[in-house]
Amino acid sequence: MQGKHDIRIDRSKLHPQLNYKLGLLLKKCKKKGIYLIVTEGFRSKEQQDMLYAKGRTVPGNIVTNARGSSYSSQHQWGIAFDIAMNYDIDGDGKVSDDTWNIKGFQRVAKIAKSIGLGWGGDWKSFKDTPHFYLKKWGSTTAKLKQQYGTFENFKNTWSASVDRGMGLILWKDALKTKKILRIPNGERVQVLYTKLWYAKVKYQGKYGFVNKKYI
């Protein structure tokens, strides 16, 4: 059977670095014949409130302890996604009975951690096996709240404009050995992260490095 990833989220709403790592994860999983359903990504305050109501004011089981207004879900900051399994793990010829197969999650977690993602299955108090996230701010949203205050402030760091008359070279690597292209002045780039002299950015579908002074 030909497997396939099933992406049910709007990837453009994720933090650019998370979206990049999700892309890597999907590629690496596919190579091993592991296929995923990506079920959850960014969640607005309203969406988080609807989720919070589940098992409380509307029928169903309780699935979260985070109210929308608390911004304590990593999904509200665009730094997490949830997955389910989309391949035959137990070898019975069916896929549907493997959606929550823990063996699948463990396999994926191993790959995800090798590319620097955090896994909710490693949490001590509340294990969240479908949940993967950017580790930079820890396993809670406390640091994000402290550092940025609001999601809007945080989101403003996800992109920037080139501010250099002659444009800005997009390098393939941080050692500046190979040029990809020159980004014209005033163009917007997505910012994955900044480090030393550079920023890793995405421009016109291409990933590379630019001098962070000029964005």
Residues of this chain that bind Zn ion (CB under 5 A): 82, 131
Residue 51 or 160: which CB sits closer to Zn ion?
51
Residue 139 or 194: which CB sits closer to Zn ion?
139
We find the least distance from the C-beta atom of residue 15 to Zn ion, in angstroms, to be: 14
80 CB-side CA count, 13 A: 24
| Residue 188 main-chain phi, psi, to 5 deg | -95, 140
Tokens read off for 191: 């910012």
We find the least distance from the C-beta atom of residue 193 to Zn ion, in angstroms, to be: 22
Cα→Cα distances 170→42, 138, 156, 202, 203, Å: 28, 30, 21, 9, 9
We find the least distance from the C-beta atom of residue 112 to Zn ion, in angstroms, to be: 13
Closest chain position to Zn ion (CB): 131
First to last CA, the chain: 47
Residue 71 or 198: which CB sits closer to Zn ion?
71
Residue 126 or 196: which CB sits closer to Zn ion?
126
We find the least distance from the C-beta atom of residue 74 to Zn ion, in angstroms, to be: 7
Could you give the residue ranges of the DSSP H alpha helices within the chain?
Answer: 16-31, 45-53, 102-114, 142-148, 151-156
